[in-house]
Structure 1
Amino acid sequence: MLRTARAQVLAALPGRRAFTHTAVRGQVSGASSRSSGSDEQALLLEKVQLPQIDRLNAFKAAGAGIPGLLSQHVLEDVWSRQLESNLGQLKEAIVQSTSNNYLDCFDSANSSIDRGADSSNKIINQYRDLLQKISNKFDDDESYLFDLTASIYNLFYFLSSLKANPANTVAKASASALLASPGEAVANAPSNEVFVSLINKSFGSMDEFLTLLSDSANSIKGNGYTWLIYKHIENSVTFSKLGHLSILNTYNNGLPHTFTSNRVSSGRDFENKKLNKNYESEKFSSNKIPSMEDADALNSLNFTFTPLLAIGSNPAFYLRDYGVYGKQQYINNVISCIDWDIVNDRIPSKK
């Protein structure tokens, strides 16, 4: 029975030679009394799938990369080969994890797959649930699992927001590109009136928004993403007018979320209560003016960051097509390929 349970787990991880029998043995130890649990784990592992982007699949089938942005070779590498490798390692890391409930994130009965904010691809919500669960544990041993999950999550928000723009030039730039004067903001801009109004409210004007988006992406050195996020108070009609757009940079496998803000603030509240028994009653006293630190903490607690768009600045995305000096041209091409209808659809409903 032990061999049967081990075979079921391994069957869910095809081609993973690095998967050790020791790790499997640790997961299925006592299988003679828990064979049903192993069966359930094997079935859940089959549900851990990659998010699908129909447009990218069509580009891949056509063999032309993303016209006006990425060659077929680069697209095959970053969207197919690397993702398939990451998926295999992700399943391996889930099985070897000390936690036994991560697979629940991929069970439709438990996963928040109907969350409207990520309706463009429901599978990506399962990855978000997994990231949140790992973040809330604060377990250094889970960092590898976190990085694998975040790499898939971030790449989805980058590539799923793009469309073709054959008018762009995809070629290696010379060193003279570093001396070129900054040009005007890329012409590609959203047309939805409500979305444009939100951009103007958040950034002042469309030109300022597109310039900030470009400059933020170009400022990243090494691996990272530039995000357009919708900062809002979740499930609040009263404060819906406070919702606005922001641009932020994350590095390596960082996320544009505030998963841990509640736990950090809760810990601060706990310490304050121990030192001052009257802390709870004085916290919002009318004669107590909060400090900037207090205001910032409260702001982090109240607001939710919903990702709308990511621009990947990893050298792997542009070096082979644009060369060492072509990062700015690559970023210009990315912005010109953004499908703003997809981005706008990710703004959560205020109903």
Structure 2
Amino acid sequence: MLRSTSAKTLVFRRYQTTSYTFQRIPTLEDIRTNGSNFSGLFSNKAVKQLWFDRGNELVKNLNQAMAQTNTVLDREYSFAALAELSMNNPELAEVYKNASSSTSLIYFFSSIRPLSKRQDKAIRRVGYEEMFKTPGDGFGNKPKDPALVDWINQSFGSVRELRNLIINSARGLKGDGTVWLVAESTMSEEFLNKSTFTNPMYHNLALVNTYNGTMISDGERSGQVKRMKDLLAKLQREEENNARRKDAYKARQEQEIKVEEEEGEKKAEVEDAKEKPTDTSDLQLGTVEKAEFDVAFLNKRLIPLLAIDASPRNYLIDYGVFGKQAYLENVWECIDWEVVSRRLPPRAKQVITM
């Protein structure tokens, strides 16, 4: 489970070094040992390049970045926690990049499993003619956990609709990107701290896209929409104030022509008004409803349940340049719904939603 740790900071004392190694997934280790394919999705060559080679390269780059910045941790952190700790520090950009990419890679491969021999499909390269075909609507892999199915139905309408949304969202990603299925809390930690509730309440499932190897981070995105709305409102107020100052300046110039003896004093007033505009709008109190919104519905928690890597490197090896649709359809068939169910937080049905 990924949780926000943004309140903590990295320690820059050289008394202990930390070296990361990449995670081992038994199923993928067996594939490498046996020289077999990831049934229904990847060839052995693709598994080697996408998991083993890329994973080891990311960890190598991460360790180098930490050594170059003299980064020392006060304790052992997961890749996800390390990424959250470093995301707001420009000096640790390479640490964040490699830790975040490692997290996304692990989440993707731990969310899927090979098909059985009975279910196995041939992995084939797709030609340009595939672009003119209507995508198939049939699929076999469906979650069996009643709680998960009910949650999906409540959030998306049906499992079929969730599949369509995931595939279409992934198809729309250009370049390196991941589609995440997440559980979203309905109220912020700030609100919970002031209420009788002690833990976030999760009510809704949602899809979130990330780009360039970045992972899901509720600490990074919390309140972004409101901050952008507030910034836009402030810019609009500044434009209105500038227009009023220009009108006032023009009127004063006309007055100065008529009253030359007061020219020096009035010019000083104009320059002072231009340099120090008066804006009292920020001092005005908002409504009770706005205050409740600010407190109750910001900084929501997100728990990632499933990651679908839609990057070109994942389908070019086995499916070719026209094979993204075929790759995504095969990914769906390989989703391990038992893993997704284990990641589900406790669900709260009777809650306030927006």
What is the TM-score normalised by the length of structure 2? Answer: 0.70
Question: After superposition, where does 1:163-312 map in structure 2 within 5 Å?
Answer: 163-165=113-115, 166=117, 167-232=120-185, 233=187, 243-261=203-221, 282=285, 285-286=287-288, 289-290=289-290, 295=293, 299-301=297-299, 303-312=300-309
1:202 to partner: Cα distance: 0.4
Structure-2 residue corresponding to 1:145: 95
User: Is the Cα contact below 8 Å between 2:177 and 2:212 reproduced in 1?
Assistant: yes
User: Is the Cα contact below 8 Å between 1:131 and 1:150 reproduced in 2?
Assistant: yes
| SS of match in other structure, 1:171 | coil
Aligned mates of 2:161, 2:61 — CA distance in 1: 41
Deviations 1:140-186 (A, max 9, x none): 23222111111110001111111112522310011111011121142
1:240 to 1:88, Cα distance in 2 relative to 1, 3 A: closer
Residue 127 of structure 1 pairs with residue 99 of structure 2: no
1:176 to 1:309, Cα distance in 2 relative to 1, 3 A: same
1:185 to 1:240, Cα distance in 2 relative to 1, 3 A: farther
Q: Cα RMSD over matched residues?
A: 3.3
Opposite residue 104 of structure 2, the aligned amino acid is N
Aligned mates of 2:294, 2:208 — CA distance in 1: 17
1:60 to partner: Cα distance: 2.0
Opposite residue 162 of structure 1, the aligned amino acid is I
Aligned length: 279
Opposite residue 249 of structure 1, the aligned amino acid is N
Structure-2 residue corresponding to 1:41: 16
| SS of match in other structure, 1:82 | helix
Aligned mates of 1:143, 1:195 — CA distance in 2: 37
Aligned mates of 2:219, 2:316 — CA distance in 1: 33
Aligned mates of 1:297, 1:177 — CA distance in 2: 50
1:262 to partner: Cα distance: 5.8
User: Is the Cα contact below 8 Å between 1:162 and 1:338 reproduced in 2?
Assistant: yes
| SS of match in other structure, 1:169 | coil
1:241 to partner: Cα distance: 6.1
Q: Which has the higher contact order (CA 8 A, sep 6+)?
A: 2
Structure-1 residue corresponding to 2:47: 75
Aligned mates of 1:216, 1:253 — CA distance in 2: 16
| SS of match in other structure, 1:309 | strand
Residue among 88, 104, 117 paired with 2:74? 104
Structure-2 residue corresponding to 1:317: 314
Opposite residue 290 of structure 1, the aligned amino acid is K
| SS of match in other structure, 2:297 | helix
Aligned mates of 2:134, 2:221 — CA distance in 1: 41
Aligned mates of 2:21, 2:153 — CA distance in 1: 38
Structure-1 residue corresponding to 2:57: 85
> 5+ residue gaps in structure 1?
1-27, 29-36, 112-125
User: Higher Cα Rg: structure 1 or 2?
Assistant: 2
What is the TM-score normalised by the length of structure 1? Answer: 0.70
| SS of match in other structure, 1:181 | coil
Aligned mates of 1:334, 1:206 — CA distance in 2: 15
Aligned mates of 1:327, 1:208 — CA distance in 2: 19
Structure-1 residue corresponding to 2:250: none
Aligned mates of 1:314, 1:213 — CA distance in 2: 14
Opposite residue 216 of structure 1, the aligned amino acid is S
> 5+ residue gaps in structure 2?
1-11, 235-278, 349-354
Opposite residue 162 of structure 2, the aligned amino acid is F
Aligned mates of 2:85, 2:75 — CA distance in 1: 9
1:65 to partner: Cα distance: 2.8
1:170 to 1:296, Cα distance in 2 relative to 1, 3 A: farther
Aligned mates of 2:167, 2:91 — CA distance in 1: 36
Residue among 26, 31, 39 paired with 1:59? 31
Aligned mates of 2:133, 2:172 — CA distance in 1: 16
The alignment-based identity, stated in percent, is 26
User: Is the Cα contact below 8 Å between 1:105 and 1:129 reproduced in 2?
Assistant: no
| SS of match in other structure, 1:230 | strand
User: Is the Cα contact below 8 Å between 2:139 and 2:333 reproduced in 1?
Assistant: yes
Aligned mates of 1:141, 1:92 — CA distance in 2: 14
